[in-house]
Chain A
Amino acid sequence: AQTVTQSQPEMSVQEAETVTLSCTYDTSENNYYLFWYKQPPSRQMILVIRQEAYKQQNATENRFSVNFQKAAKSFSLKISDSQLGDTAMYFCAFLPTGNQFYFGTGTSLTVIP
Chain B
Amino acid sequence: GAVVSQHPSWVICKSGTSVKIECRSLDFQATTMFWYRQFPKQSLMLMATSNEGSKATYEQGVEKDKFLINHASLTLSTLTVTSAHPEDSSFYICSARDRDRSSYNSPLHFGNGTRLTVT
On whether the beta carbons of B49 and A99 are closer than 8 Å, the reply is yes
Total contacting residues, chain B, CB less than 8 A: 21
Complex Cα distance, B46 from A108, in Å, reads: 20
On whether the beta carbons of A43 and B43 are closer than 8 Å, the reply is no
Does B108 belong to the interface (CB within 8 Å)?
Answer: yes
Q: Which of A55-102 contact B (CB under 8 A)?
A: 89, 91, 93, 95, 99-101
On whether the beta carbons of B113 and A43 are closer than 8 Å, the reply is yes
Nearest CB in chain B to that of A102: its residue: B46
Total contacting residues, chain A, CB less than 8 A: 24
Which residues of A does B touch, CB under 8 Å? Answer: 31, 33, 35, 37, 42-47, 50, 52, 89, 91, 93, 95, 99-101, 103-106, 108
Which residues of B does A touch, CB under 8 Å? Answer: 32, 34, 38, 41-44, 46, 49, 91, 93, 95, 97, 104-105, 107-110, 112-113
Give 9 closest A-B pairs by Cβ, nearest first: A45-B110, A33-B105, A105-B43, A47-B107, A103-B43, A43-B113, A103-B44, A44-B112, A106-B43
